[in-house]
Amino acid sequence: MDDLLYVIPAETPKDKIASMLKAHPEIKFVSLVGIDLAGNDTDEKIPMRIFLKDMDDFYAGTAVQTDGSSVVLPGIATLNNAKVDMPIDPSVNWFVDYNYEASAAQCWPDCY
C-alpha cells in the first residue's frame, strides 16, 4: 500500500501526470466534481483509458458535461437547462480516492 498514488500536486506537467497515472493501473477512473453555490455536488466519472486518450483535449479546454440533475440553482437554472461543464483544473492538487472494498468482479469491462 506504500506505493499507491494519493496526490498529484498542483501545476504538475501534463506529461508527468500521464506517466504517473499509467504507472498506477489500480486507478480505473478520473472523477471530476463540481459543487454549486449551496454546497450540492455533482460528478462525472471517466474511464482512465479515455482520460489518457483525450488528455490533450481536456487541457485545451474541452469540458466534461453532466445534466446538472444534482445541482440546485434556484433562480439561475432548472433541471431542463442545468447542463454543467466541468473543465479540468491543473492549478489545484488532484486527490486519488481508493475504494478498498471494491473488487475486480464489481468492475464492468470498460474499467480495464
pLDDT digits (tens, 9 = 90+) for 76-102: 665 555 566 777 888 999 988 887 776
pLDDT for residue 53: 92
Mean pLDDT score of the chain, rounded to an integer? 77
User: pLDDT value at position 40?
Assistant: 72
Integer Cα distance of 108 and 112 in angstroms: 8
Alpha helix stretches (DSSP H) within 1-112: 14-22, 48-53, 55-59
Q: What is the mean pLDDT of residues 40-61?
A: 84
Segment among 11-25, 30-44, 71-85, 88-102 with least mean pLDDT: 71-85
**pLDDT (0 to 100) of residue 112:** 46
Q: Is the pLDDT of residue 72 over 80?
A: no
Contacting residues for 39 by C-beta, under 8 A, at least 6 apart:
none
What structural domains and CATH numbers belong to the chain?
7-111 (3.10.20)
What integer pLDDT is reported at residue 19 of this predicted model? 96
- The neighbour count for residue 40, using CB atoms within 10 Å, is 13
Is residue 101 within 8 A of residue 14, CB to CB? The reply is no
Average pLDDT estimate for 39-46: 77
